[in-house]
Amino acid sequence: MGATAATAAPRPSGQLKVDISVPSALVSNGRHVWIANTGSSSVLELDAATGRELRNVAGSTYRFDISDAIATYGDHVWVANSASNSVTVFHASTGKLIRVLSGPAYRFEVPSAMVVADHHVFVLNGAGSRVTELDETTGRRLRVLTGPLYRFAGTHAMVVVHHDVWTANGAGKGSLTEFNAVTAKVVRVISSGSARLDAPTSLASDGIRLWVSNALGGHISEVAVANGHLMRTISNSTHQLSGLDSLAWSGRTLWGADQQRSGLVLAFDETSGKTTVVLAHRFGFPAVSADAHHIWVVDRTQSRVTELNPATGAIVRVITN
């Protein structure tokens, strides 16, 4: 995601009916949105500008089964299926299946997060102690990243920043691991003390800063991508920030969602760190996703996706079934 982006103009709010069913993960390339539906074992493709349904990718050959992560790269859509320990790849332009990856060689174990960078795909396994690296073009397993150098333990999230992958390792007080996407060599491991980490849970970046939510401690840690140094912490005296389960950046705003406390969704100004939007009691089990011009809140329990204006937090549309 780039460091700067213009904010799309506000559009009238409304409601759209699509074939959405217990959405669990969302990704957008700015023009198209793909939503993993755990309720119908399918992936729904929408027009990012209008929210209109373009395609419903479904069928037993895709082996979608509790799909908890989704990513795009070029004309490929990658879907991690946690219940079947598999990864499905299909064409973004046509929905046609390319391949399903599974079996002992991949060492998938409840894949829960996934990122793609420099023709390499990284799949985080649910135990949070190893990452499987794949060739994006062929699907071939390249290596399994694990061991003391990576410090993966209780790892919950990954994010790509330039040519590196960062992970949030939640075990104990926690740590951050940065490794190169091409060589898989560790660039640095940032300790809990140096970055004010307290069991980190999710990550977002604007290319300059890395934001880290913490399960404990009530704050967001802001870290410089260039050197890993702590820049500041972001807090809110009214709303506890411990427990933010997802972070997303769009335009000049950082968004966070808390699935534990009545579906709280917050926005923070990236310059000042001040809370600019508070959306309480609107969501059941929210997770935030974004591209440069859009912010979406995926809500499993209410089986809907809400698009928000990234600058104001106003509801643009509600996408439901």
Task: Write the DSSP assignment of 79-134 as a string of letters.
Answer: EEETTTTEEEEEETTT--EEEEE-SGGGT-SSEEEEEEETTEEEEEETTSS-EEEE
Angle 255-258-263 (CA atoms, 0-180°, nearest 5)? 105
What pLDDT is recorded for position 5? 28
Return the pLDDT at 11. 39
Note the pLDDT of residue 74: 95
Tokens representing residue 240 in the block: 């506890």
Predicted pLDDT of residue 217: 87
* Mean pLDDT computed over 47-71: 96
Q: Is the pLDDT of residue 313 over 90?
A: yes
Q: Which residue has the tokens 């062929």?
A: 138
Q: What is the pLDDT of residue 1?
A: 34
Report which residue type is found at 16: L
CA-based nearest residue to 192, from 236, 223, 147, 162: 223
Report the candidate in 174, 261, 250 with the shortest Cα–Cα distance to residue 212: 174
Number of H helices, E strands in the chain: 1, 29
**Dihedrals φ, ψ of 51, to 5°?**
80, 0
Contact by Cβ (8 Å): 164, 120: no
Residues found in the chain: 321
Instruction: Flag whether pLDDT at 53 surpasses 70.
Output: yes
